[in-house]
Amino acid sequence: MASEDSVARAWASLRIVHRETSKLLDAQLRAEADCSLSDVDVLTEISCTPDRRMQMLTLADRLGVTRGGLTRIIDRLVERGWVSRDRPEHNRREVYAVITDDGIRVLNQAKSIYLGLLTRTLGSHLDDSSFDEMGTSMGKLQAGLTGSTGRWRM
């Protein structure tokens, strides 16, 4: 088992790298794709499902936001034509967010910006083997914490 000191240092580093990289990604996405990192996170989660739709409660849980917060995000994405809402006839209380063709187009544009920035920033400090090790380690942590592995893709 790892020492508390090692765990604390790794966690602090992970939080700082996430915070700083998120700021860079958000700024670049806003400048070049006219969307935010939050928009990309929502569109990515929805697009990863087989039918490109996700129940709003599940989406809020996956993103770690409140239902009210997600409603505001989805309202904005619906306004932009990137997402639509679907209420099944059999249960009008269920609401699904569905990514539109325009949403897929925006996500594809954002993908090249996103991956380009990550490659230029993170990739300038670590090599492929370091990323492979990190991916393996993060996969183990994800599996241990959530019971699942690698559902995210871009």
- pTM listed for this prediction: 0.84
1 located within any domain: no
The region, left, alpha or beta by phi > 0 then psi within -120 to 50, assigned to residue 53 is: beta
Local structure of residue 64 (DSSP, 8 states)? T
| Residue 21 located in a structural domain | yes
Amino acid sitting at position 38? S
CATH of the domain at 44: 1.10.10.10
Inside any domain, residue 19? yes
**How many domains, the chain?**
1
Q: Give per-residue pLDDT as tens, 60-97.
A: 999 999 999 999 999 999 999 999 999 888 877 789 99
Q: Is residue 2 domain-resident?
A: no
Long-range contacts of 26-31 (CB under 8 A, 24+ apart): 28/113, 28/117, 29/110, 29/113, 29/114
Question: Tens digits of per-residue pLDDT, 5-57?
Answer: 999 998 999 999 999 999 999 999 999 999 999 999 999 999 999 999 999 99
What pLDDT, in 10s, does the model give residues 86-131? Answer: 988 887 778 999 999 999 999 999 999 999 999 999 999 999 999 8
pLDDT, residue 150, reads 58
Rounded alpha-carbon distances, angstroms, from residue 71 to 77, 79, 90, 97: 10, 12, 22, 10
Confirm whether 152 is domain-assigned: no
Report how far Cα 112 is from the mean position of its chain's Cα atoms.
Answer: 15
pLDDT tens profile 54-64? 999 999 999 99
Is residue 138 one of the residues assigned to a domain? no
Q: Output the pLDDT for position 152.
A: 52
Give the residue numbers spanning the domain of 46: 7-131
Would 142 be classed as within a structural domain?
Answer: no
Domain membership flag for residue 143: no
